[in-house]
Structure 1
Amino acid sequence: MIASAQFTIISLCDVVTSDTPPENPYEGQLWVDTSVTPPETKIWDGNEWVVQNDIETIRTTISILTEKDAQFQQTIDGLNSYVATLTETVETVSNDQGVLEERILNSESRVSELEHTVDGLSVTMQEQYIGGINYVQNSSGLNGITDDWSYSGTVKTDTSTDTQNNTISDSCFVLGAYSSLSQYIRGVVPGTYTISVRAKKTSTMSGYFYVTYNGNKTKYLFNKSTAFDWTDYSVTLTDVTDPTLRIYCYCRDASIYLADIMISEGAIPRKWTPAPNEIYTQEVKIDKRGIEVSNSASSQRTVITNTEFAGYYNDEVIFTLNKDETQTKKTTVDGELTVGKTKFVPMPTASEGLNIVILD
């Protein structure tokens, strides 16, 4: 018996080219579809023919990619523009920072100048405020030893070159051995007061200056048994309640020099000034007692007080008022002189004498 069979040989490399798809396609079979222009190569994926060279899809994809690329390029351009703007902004900020730093430096300089100005103003205000009302009468002996002061022993005033070079008032009191000087200050109101004095001590024995207040309280400005040159001393009383103060200085051995004595309100020492009702210049003295006008070149002075109206030559009274009469030591009349009902008229020449005329 002879067997026989039929085989179908399929070439996997065969590509069917036709207007219609091949029958009974196998998976992976290629078909060139000539029914379209240009022809399309398709492959059977087991379910359908899938175009392998889809130009439109590629074109669409390329178009999409091109559009995306354009958008990306636009985005890049935008980023570049933003970066440029940001750079410019940074540069502007840098410039502004430089300007700001310059302004800060200028401001610091102006603040420094302002502080300097404020310091200057403070100094000026302080200098203006250093002076104050002095409660001490004849506080540096510019009017001699007046009855404002009580003293014992030897006390005098001094206006020597040393005193003028070392004091504001150009005058001082000088206490000799075993001498004292004191003054009561009345009428102060409760508050804070500062007492100050500029002093010099030549002896090596005890000497002191103190103030008493509130009846029995005492504070020393100095209490020394050694010599010292011109020195400022002060003390502040923060609790004054009694209206009367007393300053007192004692010298056991010559000499203590006291100048620019000052009692003023407040907690700081003030620059010396005379009491409010006192004016002292080289030729004029005015205080609560009256007025004295002098001329050192002619040794003359005129004194007007509540007890006298007199003219002096050196220390001799030349004229004075005594109630309803004027007393003079010498009188010179250049012209006519009338006394009551009598007139004395000098002749043209001294040798001719004097006419005496009786008035009606």
Structure 2
Amino acid sequence: ALYILDDTQAPAADDQEGELWIGGEGVAQGYFQRRDLSADRFHPDPFAGHGRMYRTGDLVRKRPDGKLDYLGRADFQVKIRGHRIELGEIETTLESTHGIRQAVVIAREDLPGDVRLVAYVTSAGPVDAVTIKTSLAEHLPEVMIPAHIVKLDSFPLTPNGKVDRKALPAPFAVAPAPGAPMVSDAPATAATDRPAVALEGNLEDAIAAVWARVLGVPQVSRSDNFFTLGGHSLLAVQAHREMKVALNSDRLAITDIFRFPVVSALAAHLGKSITTVPARVTNPSHVSAPAAAPSAPPAATGDAPADERMDAMARRRAMREAREKALG
């Protein structure tokens, strides 16, 4: 017997995606000496009332005529910020990009609570992450664009010759603990978005230091884009909070990160209203809380009502994503 079941293991309606389970007299009791794997794959068959059914991991859809359409593997589906992502679709799109030989995409949680898509590719030549992400954006929604693209000489393999996804290296070194220096070397070669451009001034230093820690990257240059480095709405909220402390100012609106996502552009914008910047900040968490406002009013930042509306919209969007993530 073939069963097409949804996430609650209830029968899926025709034309609805579900996971294929197999029941009947020929289904085994489980894997030999693999109780953990058997418990995941072999369940009592509630439809037959006896025996067991086997979870294949295949995603299918039943047509009205009874035939099944194969849609992919459930193993390669993940949830990112409340969205169900099919990793195979991203891999296929990557491999259609000029110069990419093979691609593997996984969801990583190198920093607690921060799940990101990371693409691993093999290529005969250099890999330009910005060009690849731009190409992907023409075919895939934003949530399916990998935060990082890592070039490898070859993929690690399991004994049976399949890609060992668990052995794929982290895209960057783990962000340092408070007070520790940034680690510049990484276990894998991350594709460079663009040649690094040296930071200019204390304001850019402070912004880059916060971004590096929040995004978990080893370094940030003045030409780097917050979202290209792996940022999203939830991380923007965190970066906004830490930058206000690091810059000792309340003049930064969360929407400034969306309007000016490049370090140099954000620094130029903030420089209009922030006249005093703390000396080189390498660890914003150790900076004191924002000081009282100066006696002379700072320069205006623009349309205050519009900024407030945009700020509220960004916060609501971030809260919605957080709620969706919590609900799974």
TM-score by length of 1: 0.22
Question: Quick check: which one's strand share is greater?
Answer: 1
When you count helix as a share of all residues, which structure comes out higher?
A: 2
Compute the TM-score of the two structures, normalised by the length of structure 2.
0.23
